[in-house]
Structure 1
């Protein structure tokens, strides 16, 4: 029974390391999910000496965790203004105020996001 527990502790630790890597680097691969996941697998294999098959499995689970985390954040429309977007994460109890020009400079002007045309 202790081997099963030890193995699960190891996998939980590696999955947490994968999630931490994904959180730190998600903004660097907005357009290429495959490259993002491969980079994370390579990080686990090279830095933590995890077998590639296990690393791939745990990275996919960690990515699922990341998607759950990323959908928690919400725009607080009442606190936002024409020039500042307020984003909250009610689970973590965090709030961020982001100037709109930074969103434009770092996401839109950098080629991330979709251009939409408003119907008139």
Structure 2
């Protein structure tokens, strides 16, 4: 039983490492999931000495978790204003207050923004 527990702990730890890598680098690969997953797999193999087959499995599981995290975060209209957006994660109880000016500066007006377009016609 202890060997199985150690294996599960190892897989959980490595899946968490994959999730952290995905979160850190997802903005670099908007719309290019295969490149992001390949980078994650390569990171697990090269930096954490995970076998490639296990790295593929863990990267895939971490990606599923990342998608689930993204869908549970919500805009909190009750606490947002014209200049500040409040985002909440009801599962973890986290709240983030993000100035609209920062969203504009870092996302909308970023030099590498080729995906997001103005809503004006």
Bin of the TM-score, shorter chain as denominator length:
0.7 to 0.9
Alignment of 1:1-120 (within 5 A): 1-110=1-110, 111=113, 113-115=115-117, 117=119
Deviations 1:15-58 (A, max 9, x none): 12111222222223223211111111111001111111210111
Structure 1 stretch 57-66 or stretch 103-112: which is displaced more?
103-112
- Relative to the length of structure 2, the TM-score reads 0.83
Q: Which runs of 5+ in 1 are unaligned?
A: none
Is residue 45–residue 55 contact of structure 1 (8 Å, CA) maintained in 2?
A: yes
Q: CA deviation at 1:116?
A: 5.8
Q: Which runs of 5+ in 2 are unaligned?
A: none
RMSD across aligned positions (CA): 2.1
Q: Distance in 1 between matches of 2:81 and 2:49?
A: 48
Q: Distance in 1 between matches of 2:119 and 2:10?
A: 49
- Relative to the length of structure 1, the TM-score reads 0.84
19 and 53 in structure 1: CA distance in 2 versus 1, 3 angstrom threshold = same
Which runs of at least 4 in structure 1 moved beyond 6 Å after TM superposition? none
Q: CA deviation at 1:104?
A: 1.6
Q: How many residues are aligned here?
A: 119
